[in-house]
C-alpha cells in the first residue's frame, strides 16, 4: 500500500489532479464560512467584477463569488456520494451476478438491460417528479439512472475473469467464494472500478448541474446548477453578463479535469505492469532431497467415465476406464477435442454446471463424484492439484508471487503468514526459481518461470496426484525440456503420481510410463510407452505415430534428471 501511495505521489498528473480536487474540497468545506450569505442581495443587479465584488453580482444582486463558493458544497457532495453509490451498486450487482451465474445472472442481466434501454434524462425527470425537492432527491434520481451501466461493465469483466486459470486454481485450493471475489477478482478490476467511480462522479456532477439548469432541482438552494439556471433566467448571455455563468462553468470544467487526471494516474498505479521492476539475483537451487514414499497401489481409478453436456446427444467422453498407480507418470494423448482435458477436469470436479458425469471416479481413496461443499474444498489441492495449460494466465496478475502462496496455504489453515512466505521461498527454490522473487509480480517473470511457479503452487500441500493439462503449451522447446526435467526430478523424489495431458506424443513418450490414446471421447488404446511405440495396435495410434517422422520406433529415452 505504501509503494502504491508513493507511486501516486510520483505521478505529475496525480499531483495536479489531487491539488485541484483538494483545493475544491477545501473551498467547499470552509469557503462558505468566509464569503457571507450567498442568497442576500448586496449590490446593484448585474454589476460587473470590481474590487468590491471580485466576480460581480447576479441578476438579483447577489455576490457571484459567494454563490460560486457556497454552491461547491452541495454540488461536490452530491457528486461524490452518487459516484460512490453507483459504483457500489454496480460492484455488488455486476460482480455478484457474473460470479454466481445461472438464474441470478439471468435476472440481474434482464434488470440491467431494462434500465439501460430507458433514456437517463427522461427517467430522472419521471422519478424526480414523485420525490420532494432537495439533495436527497437528486442523489436517488442520479443513482437509479446511472447504476445499470456500471453493473453491466463489472458483470462482463467478472465473466471474463471467472474463466481465468488463476480463479479456477483458487477454487481448487479451497478458497471460499467471498475470498475469491475479494482477492482474485476485484483486485484485477481495481483499475476498472477506480475509473468507473471517477467517471460516475463526473457524470453525477454533470447530470446534477444539467437537471438544475433545466429547473428540475431545488431552485431555492445555492448550487452550481441553480447558479446557471438563474443566469439563464436573467438572460445573462444575451446581455453580456458573462461573470454570472463563467466562474461556475469554469469550476465544473476544472473539477472534471482534476478527476480525469486522477483516473489516468490510478490506472497506472493499479496496473502492476507499469511499476518498476526489482533487480534479479542469481538462481538459488534446492539442496534438500527428501525420500519419496514407496507405494504401488492404484491411486486413481476411473471406471466407465462418461461426460456429456446438457442439450448434446453425443458424449464428450464415452465410457473411459484406466488406473494410475502411486508414483506413476500416466499420459493421455489425442488431438484437440478428443476429451483429454475434460477427463482431467472431471477428476478435479472443474467441469461447468451443465456437465453430466456418469461412471466412477476415485482419487486417493475418495469418491470424487460424491464430494461436495467443504469436503470437496478440503480434498482439492491436498490430494489432487493441477498445473494449468497457459503459463501466461495461470497466475493472478495483480498479486505478487508470494501472496499467491499465502492465499493457497491460508485456505487450508497452513500456519501463519510468515510461515507461508517461508514455505513459498522453499517451494520456489525447489523448482529452480530464485526465492527472492517471492515479492515479484507475475508479469516480471518469463513464461517458463511462471510455469515453474505454477508447479510450485501445485506442490504446496504435497498432493498425491498432479494433473498437468498441456503444461508446456506456448513454451519454446528448451524451456519445455528444462521444466520437464525439473518435473521428473521432483516426481522421482516426492513419489506423487502424474496425469500428463498433451497432444504432443513425442514429448509424452519421453516422460510417461504408460499412455492412453483418446479419439472422439473413446480410449482407443492403452499400453506401456515402449510397447505403444514398438507395436501400436489401433490404426489411430499408428496414424499419430506416423505424423511425427522423427519419433523412433521405440520409446524415446527418458529425460535425464538434473543433478
In three state form, how does the secondary structure of 319-364 look?
A: EEEEEEECCCEEEEECCCCCCHHHHHHHHCCCCCCCEEEEEEEEEC
Q: Domain total for the chain?
A: 1
Alpha helices in 163-245 (DSSP H): 165-172, 177-179, 190-213, 224-233, 236-239
SS3 501: strand
Which pLDDT score, from 0 to 100, does residue 168 have?
A: 80
* Sign of the Cα pseudo-torsion (213, 219, 225, 231, in order): positive
Is it the case that residue 312 has pLDDT exceeding 80? no
Task: Supply φ then ψ for residue 327, to 5 degrees.
Answer: 85, 5
In three state form, how does the secondary structure of 68-136 look?
A: HHHHHHHHHHHHHHHHHHHHHHHHHHHHHHHHHCHHHHHHHHHHHHHHHHCCHHHHHHHHHHCCCCCHH
Tell me whether residue 552 is in a domain: no
Tell me whether residue 176 is in a domain: yes
Tell me whether residue 194 is in a domain: yes
**Residue 286: pLDDT band with limits 50, 70, 90:** very low
What is the extent of the structural domain holding 124? 65-271
Q: Which H or E element spans position 154?
A: helix 135-162
pLDDT average, residue stretch 269-285: 44
Cβ atoms 220, 185 nearer than 8 A = no
Which pLDDT score, from 0 to 100, does residue 276 have?
A: 45
Is it the case that residue 274 has pLDDT exceeding 60? no
Distance CA 194, CA 308 (A): 42
pLDDT average, residue stretch 247-257: 89
Q: What residue has cell string 483538494? A: 22
Give tens-digit pLDDT for 348-357: 888 887 888 8
Give tens-digit pLDDT for 50-97: 888 888 888 888 888 888 898 888 889 988 999 899 999 889 998 988
Which pLDDT score, from 0 to 100, does residue 271 have?
A: 56
Which pLDDT score, from 0 to 100, does residue 270 have?
A: 58
Distance CA 525, CA 516 (A): 6
Is it the case that residue 318 has pLDDT exceeding 70? yes
Cβ atoms 456, 430 nearer than 8 A = yes
What count of Cα atoms within 13 Å lies in the side-chain half-sphere of residue 184? 33
Mean confidence (pLDDT) of the chain: 80
DSSP state of 200: H
- Which triple of cell numbers denotes residue 202? 463526473
CA 132-137-139 angle, to 5 degrees, is 170
Where is pLDDT greater, at 121 or 3?
A: 121
Which pLDDT score, from 0 to 100, does residue 4 have?
A: 47
Other Cβ atoms within 10 Å of 536 Cβ, number: 18
Is it the case that residue 323 has pLDDT exceeding 90? yes
Among residues 16, 207, 286, 175, the alpha carbon closest in space to that of 216 is found at 207
Is it the case that residue 10 has pLDDT exceeding 70? no
DSSP state of 174: T
57: CB partners within 8 A, 6+ apart: 42, 43, 44, 45, 46, 47, 63, 64
Which pLDDT score, from 0 to 100, does residue 17 have?
A: 81
Cβ atoms 363, 499 nearer than 8 A = no
Give tens-digit pLDDT for 182-212: 888 888 888 788 888 888 888 888 888 888 8
**Residue 476: pLDDT band with limits 50, 70, 90:** low
pLDDT average, residue stretch 112-134: 70
Distance CA 137, CA 130 (A): 9
Tell me whether residue 74 is in a domain: yes
Distance CA 501, CA 333 (A): 6
Tell me whether residue 550 is in a domain: no
Determine how β-strand 522-528 pairs with β-strand 514-519. antiparallel
Distance CA 251, CA 15 (A): 18
Cβ atoms 12, 56 nearer than 8 A = no
- Which range, of 302-311, 466-475, 554-563, averages the lowest pLDDT? 554-563
253: CB partners within 8 A, 6+ apart: none
Which pLDDT score, from 0 to 100, does residue 288 have?
A: 34
Which pLDDT score, from 0 to 100, does residue 516 have?
A: 93
Which pLDDT score, from 0 to 100, does residue 1 have?
A: 42
Which pLDDT score, from 0 to 100, does residue 518 have?
A: 92
Displacement of CA 403 from its chain's centroid (Å): 15
Distance CA 237, CA 249 (A): 13
- Which triple of cell numbers denotes residue 134? 432537495
Distance CA 384, CA 394 (A): 17
401: CB partners within 8 A, 6+ apart: 395, 424, 428, 437, 438, 439, 440, 441, 442, 445, 453
Q: List 298's β-bridge partners, or say none.
A: 325
Tell me whether residue 59 is in a domain: no
pLDDT average, residue stretch 276-285: 36
Where is pLDDT greater, at 317 or 16?
A: 317
pTM of this prediction? Answer: 0.60
User: What's the CATH number where 169 sits?
Assistant: 1.10.3720.10
- Which triple of cell numbers denotes residue 53? 465584488
SS3 429: helix
Tell me whether residue 103 is in a domain: yes
pLDDT average, residue stretch 403-415: 82
Tell me whether residue 544 is in a domain: no
Cβ atoms 428, 436 nearer than 8 A = no
pLDDT average, residue stretch 416-437: 86
**Residue 528: pLDDT band with limits 50, 70, 90:** very high
pLDDT average, residue stretch 268-272: 58
Amino acid at each position: 500500500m505504501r509503494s502504491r501511495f508513493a507511486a501516486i505521489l510520483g505521478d505529475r498528473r496525480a499531483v495536479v489532479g489531487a491539488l485541484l480536487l483538494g483545493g475544491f474540497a477545501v473551498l467547499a468545506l470552509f469557503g462558505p464560512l468566509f464569503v457571507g450569505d450567498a442568497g442576500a442581495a448586496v449590490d446593484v443587479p448585474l454589476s460587473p467584477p470590481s474590487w468590491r465584488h471580485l466576480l460581480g453580482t447576479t441578476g438579483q444582486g447577489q455576490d457571484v463569488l459567494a454563490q460560486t463558493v457556497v454552491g461547491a458544497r452541495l454540488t461536490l457532495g452530491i457528486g461524490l456520494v452518487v459516484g460512490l453509490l453507483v459504483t457500489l451498486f454496480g460492484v455488488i450487482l455486476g460482480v455478484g451476478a457474473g460470479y454466481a451465474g445461472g438464474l441470478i445472472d439471468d435476472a440481474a442481466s434482464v434488470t440491467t438491460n431494462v434500465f439501460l434501454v430507458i433514456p437517463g434524462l427522461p427517467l430522472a425527470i419521471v422519478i424526480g417528479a414523485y420525490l420532494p425537492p432537495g439533495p436527497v432527491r437528486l442523489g436517488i434520481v442520479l443513482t437509479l439512472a446511472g447504476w445499470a451501466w456500471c453493473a453491466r461493465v463489472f458483470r462482463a469483466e467478472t465473466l471474463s475473469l471467472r474463466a481465468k486459470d488463476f480463479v479456477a486454481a483458487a477454487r481448487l485450493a479451497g478458497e471460499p467464494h467471498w475470498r475469491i471475489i475479494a482477492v482474485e477478482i476485484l483486485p484485477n478490476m481495481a483499475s476498472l472500478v477506480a475509473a468507473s467511480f471517477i467517471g460516475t462522479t463526473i457524470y453525477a456532477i454533470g447530470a446534477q448541474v444539467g437537471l438544475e439548469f433545466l429547473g428540475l432541482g431545488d431552485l431555492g438552494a445555492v448550487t452550481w446548477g441553480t447558479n446557471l439556471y438563474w443566469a439563464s433566467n436573467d438572460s445573462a448571455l444575451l446581455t453580456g453578463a458573462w461573470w454570472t455563468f463563467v466562474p461556475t462553468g469554469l469550476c465544473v470544467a476544472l473539477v472534471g479535469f482534476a478527476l480525469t487526471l486522477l483516473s489516468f494516474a490510478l490506472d497506472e498505479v493499479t496496473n502492476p505492469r507499469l511499476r518498476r521492476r526489482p533487480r534479479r539475483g542469481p538462481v538459488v537451487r534446492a539442496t534438500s532431497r527428501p525420500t519419496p514414499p514407496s507405494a504401488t497401489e492404484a491411486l486413481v481409478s476411473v471406471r466407465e467415465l462418461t461426460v456429456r453436456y446438457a442439450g448434446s446427444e453425443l458424449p464428450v467422453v464415452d465410457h473411459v476406464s484406466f488406473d494410475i498407480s502411486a508414483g506413476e507418470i500416466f499420459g493421455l494423448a489425442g488431438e484437440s477435442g478428443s476429451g483429454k482435458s475434460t477427463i482431467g477436469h472431471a477428476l478435479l470436479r472443474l467441469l461447468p454446471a451443465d456437465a453430466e458425469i456418469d461412471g466412477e471416479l476415485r482419487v486417493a481413496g475418495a469418491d470424487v463424484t460424491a464430494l461436495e461443499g467443504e469436503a470437496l474444498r478440503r480434498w482439492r489441492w491436498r490430494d489432487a492439484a493441477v498445473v494449468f495449460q497457459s503459463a501466461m494466465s495461470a497466475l493472478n496478475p495483480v498479486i505478487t508471487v508470494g501472496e499467491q502462496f499465502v492465499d493457497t496455504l491460508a485456505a487450508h489453515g497452513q500456519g501463519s503468514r510468515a510461515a507461508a512466505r517461508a514455505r513459498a521461498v522453499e517451494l520456489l527454490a525447489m523448482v529452480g526459481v530464485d526465492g527472492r522473487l517471492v515479492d515479484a509480480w507475475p508479469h516480471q517473470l518469463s513464461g517458463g518461470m511462471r510455469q515453474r511457479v505454477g508447479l510450485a503452487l501445485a506442490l504446496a500441500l504435497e498432493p498425491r496426484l498432479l494433473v498437468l493439462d498441456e503444461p508446456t503449451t506456448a513454451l519454446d522447446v528448451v524451456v519445455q525440456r528444462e521444466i520437464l526435467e525439473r518435473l521428473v526430478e521432483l516426481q522421482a523424489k516426492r513419489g506423487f503420481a502424474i496425469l500428463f495431458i498433451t497432444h504432443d506424443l513425442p514429448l509424452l513418450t519421453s516422460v510417461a510410463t504408460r499412455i492412453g490414446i483418446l479419439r472422439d471421447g473413446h480410449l482407443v488404446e492403452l499400453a506401456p510407452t515402449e510397447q505403444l511405440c514398438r507395436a501400436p495396435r489401433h490404426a489411430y495410434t499408428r496414424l499419430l505415430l506416423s505424423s511425427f517422422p522423427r519419433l523412433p520406433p521405440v520409446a524415446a529415452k527418458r529425460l535425464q534428471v538434473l543433478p
